[in-house]
Chains A and B, each alone.
Chain A
């Protein structure tokens, strides 16, 4: 009996001791993450926080790949010869549960959420005031950029402006376009005031005041606030320059050159994308990529194949049918699906390892926004407006940018004809740079344009709000979907 008692007591003692320490034993210790409660304390946290915010641009759902599918395939210049999921975007007969629509929507809002984190938590950190303001300014620029894309593609949309950390707060109603534009303008105005004009060294690639101003000018242009657009873009004129040769702008060895205002940074090793191999054709013979698999193709019925002057150097750099293969012979990719020549990465190590930085904003944006806005504000093209567009045209032919040219300069156009010319020039200048769809949308010519190419175009005027969003969002019902879906 004594033996039992002895052992039972010691066993219970052992158990009790273990029980006492078990509460701590069950707390999950993190080794490879940081618990959120321990973050946003130092300057390093603020820097890393904004670097993390930029990172969303590199996602395969954004400038890594699917943003191109979503904005280029529906427009008139780009087509695709793959399965139905892609072709339904090209034909514009998609329905609300299209996977790419959801992926891009989610990634844009993910970047907004990261930016909200910076804007909300960084001001409380003890650090240099100017640096702090600049970081918050970058976050506002990024947030405004995303809302600008969202409002143009989807119209009224949820507009979270603070960090959401609780399941209960995740459902937000659609905010009206007017309010979203007002917020965008406010964010950009605050950003342009605090962002530095230039970036050097390790900060090259981050937002500058020029980027904020250019974006703001574009925002004004889209809302047809012509005078504001003209003035804002004028503030940037002279701060950047056009490179003499169009092809040099996209060189892999001179990224972040003087013409570029804002681009997405890739290095091909740590982070790479597939744009190069996807936009080229010609398989492994093509020296400008690993394997030109021709995902994105020129729509051979569209203006860039049928109505673009074939003597123009810019044209021959941007689209092609023939190329010189690795074996030195002339290769033909065929007339059915010509390819794009812009994104060249001869030393990429794999299909997903392109290092070319997709360009978001560059100097021609400024000039062309100015040209259109100035003409619209003044009731017709002025000399400054003509000069702005003509610089672009001269450069397209490799002619000296500042010297008037009798052959390529535009003159004597009516207001409408001038605007049409600017829209067309924008189309030719920014092939495969995710801008064409927005031009067609803001001029109200989107569906008529693609219907003229024989596309079904039975879907709505805008992208559908992703079905998953409507299903999960308590503040949205099916009736809130965009018309046409």
Chain B
């Protein structure tokens, strides 16, 4: 009775507490939101599984599932941080949304991203040199035969020129301009750790104007590539010493990732190619008219007395062109556990050529393994094997086709190939169709490229690795000419074989530690050995009774050609070291050095030393920068270093006698003699390249816009040069090191995410300008010419002269037509005579400016990607027009444009072409034409099937797309394609369009499925 009053206040307290709790919990649930969302990749809208979604400044978060989706309870107005390996992190304010969709940009400039540099990796934020990355995403759906084509237009400062569009043809790659005159100009490619130099295959002539140049990189499957890093400045390339002067392209192939389940993925595309541009040639009636006119002008009898009987015209180009398919099928499986990861892939690529009887096929297999034996020891294995078969085209095919008369039929009345009489034929009287259909030039390349690296962790941060690498290429070239060749009318077979084995051993000690939180040290030192052995064989014969044998029974030849074989070997030994020191994530110092000993160098100069240094300052991490929040990252950097070029050929420093084949005796047999080959130079050494680079990396608005700019000056000294010596000494040149060449330029690259909502749009652009100038030549006259272009031009077109761009065009300047309708040339030296002294520089085969522009848009599951690429300020010598736009100076079909010519009827002094006659035309500014262009290189429209929604559990992702390549080209150039340079990559003859294989428009459809 007295106890009761005590409970009342307690009950009240409990009630109050309870009410408070309810109130509080209600309040809490009022400030928490259940959020769902999906995280996708901005490139193509594909979902990102395993992305992290975290509430900012808390540890509360989740990861996305296989469909990129997540669910999370978040406080109202929360801010989320979304991140994913390989992509830029995003910070999103949720606001009152309950459903969000966030697109992440594949990282090219993420600061945490690891960048592959020579012999190791470096965090992007710690990088002090100029390195650009091309990710697999960017080249995944491009129908390309060879990986260099994927780099075109995507990296500032890197020019990739598809000089010849034949399938399997070799693009030329120049990083920051051409560094050398005679030495090799291609960059060094490092494929999964094995350095490979892409010289042309099969012992071909330097000038190599006949058959399309061949390409060693075409035996690597582009689909296997995970990323390509382009090392541009001396700080990045000095680690490659005597091979770094032309820049380095590091290629990393796809490796397996640890995960719950493996992945099986199938990628394919199928496309149709068509010639983008045909020459506009005369039909029969126009041709007859000009031929008769020419005869009248020369006082000869008209060759076509009865024009009316020619009712049809033969379009020889149409006979040679066809719509050709291109297709690619890749199947790969990958996956793994924490200890072992694997990635195995197989690929089949088949590109028929748009010119008949040409094409390229490749089958390849890749096995990549990462095996951790125990906590200290792991092995990395990369192995690829491929076979490619290339039916190569000859540039004579097209030259014959557009010179052939439209008045003759390809077939005769019996259905066989028509033989032309002398009066029906241009200089080469063979039937162009027969030449193409009845010749064989098949190049089969078998390649094995691989390495095994064992890495042992000695202590924390200290590892020792040994790598054994192998690059083995066997090439077999079957050449068979059945009939109808101007020079060889009888069936002839030749077989060439080239065996090339490249063996590598690297021993690297690397140290990677962070001390006291402020000092980061990343250092390597090592020793490498690489040896290259090549063997060459050639056999042939003519006079076969049965054409069907082709090259398969050389013993059946009635006349055997002499045997040829040779062997060569070269070795490089190197010591290398690099230290990268970062203080407080703000100040970066890098020092690199390499000592190379090469067997190619002369006795007196076997070893070379290449140092370089770089400094970088991450300004954005300074305290004073905290007031400028819109700048998320700002780094300024500069570097200076020395690299070398050892591509000076083998055996050039020693005095040698070689064999020659003479004929002697009553039976006229072969007799072998020995003669001195060259004047030796014991001092021969590498070319030395010094480069200065200054650059800025800027990122603003939390990474929405980022910029990279670089300025560089490169100078190559001790250029390899063929010093002309008096012919009266018995030799005409000696190889010495003398001369210099300079490249100066500016590069700018930018990425911007313009719109970031349900509809995303980002753009990526790069532009660069380079100026190549020859500073000094060994020759006393300060100039010399590249090789002569064969008949009918019979003279060189490129000059190498001090103070001018390398391989500048050189010729006469026209001054309209004179009173008799013939071309008048300017008398440039005013001596009253037109001769070789009235020539001048007419243009440059190297572009002033190269640029590329990509736009990526995505909306719901659709995506659209557009890529433009272009060059400015470049010229080409249109040698085709020398034959087809010469008013019959040399007999052959003409362009319809030649209908605008001076005639005795119109006396038109402004006519584009002179009167029809036999006056030989000269190499002049008429034929050195502007080849600047802007091209819509690639456009892709695709759709990602929402696999999750379809409820198919075994399907992870599926994508279908259509794309087009080279659909639009804006150019003033008159030939097939402004992007042309017929010769091999190391030839000094540049910018030559001589029956070059035309480029194609491609229409593609593709399907990628992941299980």
Query: Is B600 among interface residues, defined by CB-CB distance under 8 A?
Result: yes
Query: Is A317 among interface residues, defined by CB-CB distance under 8 A?
Result: no
- Beta-carbon contact of B781 and A471 below 8 Å: yes
Cα A266 to Cα B662 in complex, Å, equals 8
Using known A-B contacts A206-B664, A349-B488, determine if residue A109 contacts B606 with beta carbons closer than 8 Å. no
6 additional A-B residue pairs with CB within 8 Å, beyond A26-B599, A170-B729, A265-B665: A18-B573, A31-B566, A113-B676, A291-B486, A471-B724, A471-B781
Q: Which residue in chain B gives the minimum CB-CB distance to A351? A: B487
The 7 closest A-B CB pairs, nearest first, are A113-B730, A52-B673, A51-B673, A31-B567, A106-B727, A158-B728, A170-B729
Using known A-B contacts A204-B665, A204-B666, A473-B728, determine if residue A48 contacts B507 with beta carbons closer than 8 Å. no
Q: Which residue in chain A gives the minimum CB-CB distance to B681? A: A167
Query: Which residues from 484 to 503 on chain B have a C-beta closer than 8 Å to any C-beta of chain A?
Result: 486-490
Interface string of B462-493 (1 = CB under 8 A from A): 10100000000000000000000011111000
- Beta-carbon contact of A349 and B728 below 8 Å: no
Query: Is A283 among interface residues, defined by CB-CB distance under 8 A?
Result: yes
Chain B contact residues, CB within 8 Å of chain A = 419, 421-422, 425, 429, 458-459, 462, 464, 486-490, 507, 509, 527, 529, 542-543, 559-562, 565-571, 573, 597-601, 606, 650-651, 653-677, 679-681, 723-732, 734, 736, 779-781, 788, 792, 794-795, 835-837, 918, 920, 922
- Beta-carbon contact of B656 and A109 below 8 Å: no
Chain A contact residues, CB within 8 Å of chain B = 3-4, 7, 11, 14-15, 18, 22-23, 25-37, 39, 45, 48-55, 58, 81-85, 87, 95, 97, 99, 102, 105-106, 109-110, 112-114, 116-117, 157-158, 160, 164-167, 169-172, 200-206, 255-256, 265-267, 269-271, 282-285, 290-291, 349-352, 355, 466, 468-469, 471-473, 476
Cα A333 to Cα B462 in complex, Å, equals 85
Chain A residue contacts of B730, Cβ below 8 A? 109-110, 112-114, 116, 160, 164
Cα A255 to Cα B664 in complex, Å, equals 11
Q: Which residue in chain A gives the minimum CB-CB distance to B509? A: A11
| Contact count A vs B, C-beta below 8 Å | 267
Using known A-B contacts A11-B507, A265-B664, A473-B726, determine if residue A51 contacts B671 with beta carbons closer than 8 Å. yes
Q: Which residue in chain B gives the minimum CB-CB distance to A467? A: B781
- Beta-carbon contact of B464 and A7 below 8 Å: yes
- Beta-carbon contact of A283 and B662 below 8 Å: no
Chain A residue contacts of B659, Cβ below 8 A? 48, 52
Cα A102 to Cα B785 in complex, Å, equals 14
Chain A residue contacts of B677, Cβ below 8 A? 33
- Beta-carbon contact of A171 and B726 below 8 Å: yes
Closest CB of chain B to A272's CB: distance in Å? 9
- Beta-carbon contact of A205 and B780 below 8 Å: no
- Beta-carbon contact of A3 and B458 below 8 Å: yes
Q: Which of B489, B567, B792 contacts A32 (CB 8 A)?
A: B567
Closest CB of chain A to B308's CB: distance in Å? 27
Chain B residue contacts of A206, Cβ below 8 A? 664
Chain B residue contacts of A55, Cβ below 8 A? 660-662, 673, 675
Cα A268 to Cα B613 in complex, Å, equals 61
Q: Which of A48, A202, A282, A471 contacts B672 (CB 8 A)?
A: A48
Chain B residue contacts of A48, Cβ below 8 A? 659, 672-674
Chain B residue contacts of A33, Cβ below 8 A? 651, 656-658, 677
Using known A-B contacts A112-B730, A349-B542, A355-B668, determine if residue A29 contacts B569 with beta carbons closer than 8 Å. yes
Chain B residue contacts of A284, Cβ below 8 A? 419, 429, 489
- Beta-carbon contact of A4 and B459 below 8 Å: yes
Closest CB of chain B to A399's CB: distance in Å? 30
Cα A37 to Cα B600 in complex, Å, equals 19
- Beta-carbon contact of B568 and A31 below 8 Å: yes
Closest CB of chain A to B505's CB: distance in Å? 9
- Beta-carbon contact of A265 and B726 below 8 Å: no
Cα A35 to Cα B658 in complex, Å, equals 9
- Beta-carbon contact of A472 and B489 below 8 Å: no
Chain A residue contacts of B779, Cβ below 8 A? 471-472
Which of A3, A32, A102 has most B Cβ within 10 Å?
A32
Chain B residue contacts of A35, Cβ below 8 A? 654-657
- Beta-carbon contact of B662 and A51 below 8 Å: yes
- Beta-carbon contact of B655 and A469 below 8 Å: no
Cα A167 to Cα B678 in complex, Å, equals 11
- Beta-carbon contact of B662 and A290 below 8 Å: no
- Beta-carbon contact of B656 and A30 below 8 Å: yes
Q: Which of B599, B663, B794, B918 contacts A265 (CB 8 A)?
A: B663
Q: Which residue in chain B gives the minimum CB-CB distance to A116? A: B730
- Beta-carbon contact of A51 and B672 below 8 Å: yes
- Beta-carbon contact of A269 and B488 below 8 Å: no
Closest CB of chain B to A297's CB: distance in Å? 14
- Beta-carbon contact of B458 and A7 below 8 Å: yes
- Beta-carbon contact of A32 and B568 below 8 Å: yes
Chain B residue contacts of A468, Cβ below 8 A? 724, 727, 732
Q: Which residue in chain B gives the minimum CB-CB distance to A44? A: B674
- Beta-carbon contact of B673 and A30 below 8 Å: no
Closest CB of chain B to A64's CB: distance in Å? 12
Which of A36, A50, A166, A266 has most B Cβ within 10 Å?
A36
- Beta-carbon contact of A109 and B835 below 8 Å: no
Closest CB of chain A to B782's CB: distance in Å? 10
Using known A-B contacts A267-B669, A267-B670, A283-B429, determine if residue A109 contacts B559 with beta carbons closer than 8 Å. no
Cα A164 to Cα B732 in complex, Å, equals 12
18 contacts between A and B (CB under 8 A): A14-B527, A26-B571, A28-B569, A28-B651, A32-B568, A32-B658, A34-B658, A36-B680, A54-B673, A109-B729, A157-B728, A166-B679, A167-B734, A171-B729, A202-B667, A271-B662, A283-B429, A466-B727
Closest CB of chain B to A65's CB: distance in Å? 13
- Beta-carbon contact of B571 and A25 below 8 Å: yes
- Beta-carbon contact of B654 and A30 below 8 Å: yes
Closest CB of chain B to A241's CB: distance in Å? 18
Closest CB of chain B to A235's CB: distance in Å? 25
Closest CB of chain A to B556's CB: distance in Å? 15
Closest CB of chain A to B280's CB: distance in Å? 26
Cα A477 to Cα B419 in complex, Å, equals 55
Q: Which residue in chain A gives the minimum CB-CB distance to B795? A: A85
Closest CB of chain B to A407's CB: distance in Å? 38
- Beta-carbon contact of A165 and B679 below 8 Å: yes
Using known A-B contacts A37-B655, A109-B730, A269-B561, determine if residue A167 contacts B725 with beta carbons closer than 8 Å. yes
- Beta-carbon contact of A283 and B422 below 8 Å: yes
Cα A36 to Cα B675 in complex, Å, equals 10
- Beta-carbon contact of A106 and B568 below 8 Å: no
Chain A residue contacts of B918, Cβ below 8 A? 81
Chain B residue contacts of A266, Cβ below 8 A? 663, 668
Chain B residue contacts of A14, Cβ below 8 A? 507, 527
Which of B601, B659, B662, B836 has most A Cβ within 10 Å?
B662
Q: Which residue in chain A gives the minimum CB-CB distance to B603? A: A27
Chain A residue contacts of B573, Cβ below 8 A? 18, 22, 25-26
Q: Which of A95, A112, A255, A265 contacts B662 (CB 8 A)?
A: A265
- Beta-carbon contact of B657 and A28 below 8 Å: no
- Beta-carbon contact of A350 and B487 below 8 Å: yes
- Beta-carbon contact of A290 and B489 below 8 Å: yes
- Beta-carbon contact of A205 and B509 below 8 Å: no
- Beta-carbon contact of B780 and A472 below 8 Å: yes
Q: Which of B429, B464, B570, B663 contacts A270 (CB 8 A)?
A: B663
Q: Which of A23, A50, A290, A352 contacts B673 (CB 8 A)?
A: A50
Chain A residue contacts of B670, Cβ below 8 A? 267, 270
Using known A-B contacts A97-B836, A167-B681, determine if residue A113 contacts B780 with beta carbons closer than 8 Å. no
Which of B489, B509, B527, B730 has most A Cβ within 10 Å?
B730
Chain B residue contacts of A267, Cβ below 8 A? 663, 668-670
Cα A201 to Cα B670 in complex, Å, equals 13
Chain B residue contacts of A113, Cβ below 8 A? 676, 729-731
Q: Which residue in chain A gives the minimum CB-CB distance to B601? A: A26
Cα A51 to Cα B669 in complex, Å, equals 12
Closest CB of chain B to A172's CB: distance in Å? 6
Q: Which residue in chain B gives the minimum CB-CB distance to A93? A: B835
Closest CB of chain A to B759's CB: distance in Å? 57
Closest CB of chain A to B177's CB: distance in Å? 28
